[in-house]
Structure 1
């Protein structure tokens, strides 16, 4: 491409290892034209993020080596000095990273951090830089931008912090924006807002974008052209629409097949496994059929009634309560053996707090939680320890859930030994059986967590959760951080185990497409309350509450033909659940739409503001 803003040719990036140099990016080439968006897509370990860091020359000096050519408007970047490259970074090329909190300095105000780039690169005075920063914050739709100039990163939500990063990236009007997984950790509605914002700002500033992701739905929504990476190589490049319609490589076909599509479960009466395709042949590797779930006719395994959790806020250690966070407010539901109830909503809606309150990892303020007819909130510490054998939790980050110094065999055996279920010899045999059950080999028991991939680590956490043969598993965003194909494998494993063992799942997630695939029933949460609950088909095919409709409308559709259609995306986030100390929650009323499908009655305010994220 003669007029390319960025031209990457035969890029090879190697890292020093004990045995010499190992290449992790091998001969990658692509161009990005003016105002064009190119997506680099692939699973973790494919080399896509290393490609971006190599373009910016941010790989560790001395431990990495970059060969080939990277040209910005014809100027070779790989031969520039560090000083020259510093003048380009943040000025002509800007980068947004996946986790904004690690990119922002927690001890500096967000206004100072943006203004710093303006003073350094554009030579503005401090007063002019502050005025321009406020303009940029308003441009990325930070409410009350002037008053928030002096606030610190921890005072912003995840979506707002990512907006701050975009404002910082756009401060010097770069020719190229590199966005490395900027929406992966965000809720579906916030993701839709960020994608829409990037597209609008790109049009205004005539900027080119290199978008790195593993989410094919996001690729379809934002990219003009796509580069598919696998094991460090660019195995397929072309127009996004062509790649989606006629993928040439088996690996590309396997990526596309693993994308959960909203509406794909229409007509299905029970959850279904994801199809898994072989990466080398593109042929189906596993059957899609899901075994019939074992369902008990007895009373529900879990019965939650009026569950409430409020956190008190005071101005000092010995001062009175001035306000409360109403994290969970009068929540009721049940889950039967062999059933999956999905709890869905945006960050801050109270779904994870609900899961932790059920497990009594935090103490509820009121309500009842019955497991097999026994109220957990009335149990002593010793009785709760005994009852906890029947319920287990799987967390979002498997690496944080495992002791990095403990072999995984020991980690899985630990609950067996602590609870006196097995001696060390019996535990060893049980660990081998559990590893085989979750698709790993018995000899892996002697490895440490860092020796496994993210998907394998989540399988280990599932094995540990199954060790005590629980009746209930609370899965809190258990697949949210996984690549699309690994996510499909872990979800399939959970469905198989449920069918075989009659497990009851409380599946907490914000991923609507995955929820549609795995759930029997769905409960939608907003500001600590359930606004709609019912069978999966009823919620997805006949949503009633404005907030449920908003969630479904925000899901990216893996169809490039819809890319140029402008979606109506509300810009507001979930409101704060903080209330004054004397606040009394209103008594909610629900109406039954169809058998088992209930929706909170909303007033006229919801009709005007509900779909833009405002409270009732």
Structure 2
């Protein structure tokens, strides 16, 4: 990688890079002082090349991309250095000149498409605007081009969806709309800032395939920003590893993966779960943790068998059904129902982890909320620690919930921002009148230590903690009532890869010491393989396959299970040119008419405890 100049050697000749960044530094004004968050970053992106910037939250990778695009607030930010796009220096351009560059010569896809799309305009009109601003084109021709772009990004029935609004599209389809908008003026460089982080694994696979195909067809260069090393291996020719504002390692992606030198690079790679690495192993396995300062792997204790075999299940669910009525028309008559959970049955033993996996909308979170009665199920039987959950009145329901607690995906949303974390952790104990405030304080302090935080942090507020620390606080709060079951609803999905590994290890440690049972809800198949005893795969509200983790992962039977597994990014750079050719269809709707009667399902046993739905 060049660190100076504006040309690079390729195939024996000199090639002018599409993007050339030299000594880029970005600072933000904080309390009348300038704080530098990106320091002296230099790199090139060649024609048709994909360069990945990888690092965890706070590493400066997104700030780097926003600095290149000049999208940071002028009053509170300062950008220094040089940025050349096809030889043209961008940082010295007037704002009006830069506005003409954005969208035409350089485009950007953001992580959350719903915040980037205007909810009150049809998507066709929004994409057409990107064309009419940058090119001399009639409205009729713009519409034709938009439909062509929508077809190019594999949106079914593109012409009929031109006038639809963002809320009428799924998350994956909205991301496709954003890609179509970014490609409208045929830019030379596409910056993709975490474009797949919030997506299900199958949708992520489709988007990665799509970017590869479009890059080949359009001849674009791509600057890909992510914290997922599996994604980096699949898309990037070269990789830049960032840590706390510095580029700590750069090189060919294969070299980074196989011969990474910096301790932080090795820490990132060690934390990436590899699907299929568990083999016939029956018990969960802790994630390896590498010391960021030394690059040495920390010692890990073995996981022992905690499952209470032969005992009565702590949770027994039979034919659980949860539906949400849909009302429409002038008088609000019932016109249909969302069949969110349909005749789901499973059990959970003390000390066991049962994972529910599937895409968004499959009913896994609704299942978790239904067994806790946070949502009232339509029918079925739920027996939890001796309680018949469906028949409980409010006082007994409150008592039952001491046995089962939830840890949600977003800990910041589950913690009161005006309440100190100590008060938040103590609150369940105090509300259930289990002891004095001093006893609550002592127990909270003990649990803070148990989840890897210190007791003196209890006076702080949620905003003073990182995402991983907030999730640890949420886990400590869930443990205050000494529950026997914890429902972890996408509890690690939003975390950086190394923090995810630490939190998963914490959950395994707590299971060992407290004999906890986990209902682990996730769409991340590689993490599920690592932490589970058994796995249940959900599709359109039904369990289509369930069994011991080794049986399901080593011998998947249902087509949907196979589809989920084939979509998981593999952290192997040799697979970079491989495309999965996955179906681009949206997940089917669970909405059914009023008189709909679900078909009776049949199941067959593949091996001991491994059951699959017969198609």
TM-score clears 0.5? yes
TM-score by length of 2: 0.97
Indicate which of 97, 110, 125 corresponds to 1:97: 110
Whole-angstrom distance in 1 between the partners of 2:567 and 2:586: 13
Q: CA deviation at 1:25?
A: 0.3
Superposed CA offset, 1:236-282 (max 9, x none) = 11110111110011110111010000011113120010000001111
Residue of structure 2 in register with 1:500 after alignment: 513
- Counterpart position of 1:609: none
Query: What is aligned with 2:614?
Result: 601
- Name the residue aligned to 1:277: 290
- Aligned counterpart for 2:385 among listed residues 354, 362, 372: 372
Aligned residue number for residue 242 of structure 1: 255
Distance 1:111 1:288, change over 3 A: farther
Change (3 A) 1:81 1:483: same
Conserved in 1, the CA contact under 8 Å of 2:209 and 2:581? no
Aligned-residue offset at 1:297: 4.1
Structure 1 outlier segments of 4+, above 4 Å: none
Matched, 1:9 2:19: no
Quick one: which of 566, 581, 586 aligns to 1:568? 581
Structure 2 residue aligned with 1:73, among 82, 86, 109?
A: 86
**Which whole-Å deviations, capped at 9, do the CAs of 1:562-608 have from their partners, x for residues lacking one?**
11123231211211111111111000000001010000011xxxxxx
Other-structure match for 2:61: 48
Which segment is superposed worse, 336-345 or 306-315? 306-315
Question: 1:150 aligned to 2:183?
Answer: no
Cα deviation, 1:183-207, whole Å, max 9, x if unaligned, reads 0111111000000000000111000
Q: C-alpha separation between the residues in 2 aligned to 1:294 and 1:199?
A: 44
Matches within 5 A, 1:195-344: 195-287=208-300, 289-293=302-306, 295=308, 297-316=310-329, 318-344=331-357
Change over 3 Å in CA distance of 1:437–1:19 after alignment to 2: farther
Query: Does the alignment pair 1:466 with 2:486?
Result: no
Alpha-carbon deviations, 1:485-516, whole Å to 9, x = none? 00000000000000111111000000000000
Aligned equivalent of 1:163: 176
Cα root mean square deviation, aligned? 1.1
Deviations 1:126-172 (CA, angstroms, capped at 9, x unpaired)? 22211211111111111111111111111111000000000000001
Report if aligned partners of 1:299, 1:372 keep a CA contact under 8 Å in 2: no
Q: What's the CA shift for 1:288?
A: 5.4
- Counterpart position of 2:458: 445
Matches of 2:143 and 2:374, distance apart in 1: 44
> Is 2:39 aligned against 1:34?
no
Q: Residue deviations 1:307-349, cap 9 Å, x none?
A: 0011111213633222111111000001000000000001111
**Structure 1 gap ranges (5+):** 603-616
**Other structure's SS at 1:389 match:** coil
Looking at structure 2, the residues matched to 308 and 516 of structure 1 have their Cα atoms a distance apart, in angstroms, of 27
Q: How far apart are the structure 2 equivalents of 1:355 and 1:125?
A: 52
Contact 1:294–1:499 (CA under 8 A) maintained in structure 2: no
Q: Is the 8 A contact 1:180 1:213 kept in 2?
A: yes
Q: Secondary structure at the match of 1:481?
A: coil
Q: Is the 8 A contact 1:294 1:498 kept in 2?
A: no
> What residue is the counterpart of 2:12 in the other structure?
none
What is the match of residue 611 of structure 1?
Answer: none
**What SS does the corresponding residue of 1:15 show, helix, strand or coil?**
strand
Residues 12-66 of structure 1, C-alpha deviations (whole Å, 9 max, x = no match): 0000111511100001111000000000000110000000000001111110000
Aligned residue for 1:457, secondary structure, equals helix
What are the equivalent positions in structure 2 for 1:410-489 lying under 5 Å apart? 410-489=423-502
Among 390, 401, 413, which residue is 2:403 paired with?
390
Q: For residues 373-432 of structure 1, give each alpha carbon's deviation from its aligned partner in whole angstroms, at most 9, with x where no partner exists.
A: 321110001110111111100111111111111110010011111110122111111111
Report if the CA contact (8 A) 1:225-1:240 is conserved: yes
Q: Counterparts of 1:29 and 1:511 in 2: how far apart (Å)? A: 34
- 2 CA distance for matches of 1:317 and 1:487? 48
Contact 1:277 1:286 in 2 (8 A): no
Task: Give the CA deviation at 1:463.
Answer: 0.4
Q: Secondary structure at the match of 2:402?
A: helix
Query: Number of paired residues?
Result: 602
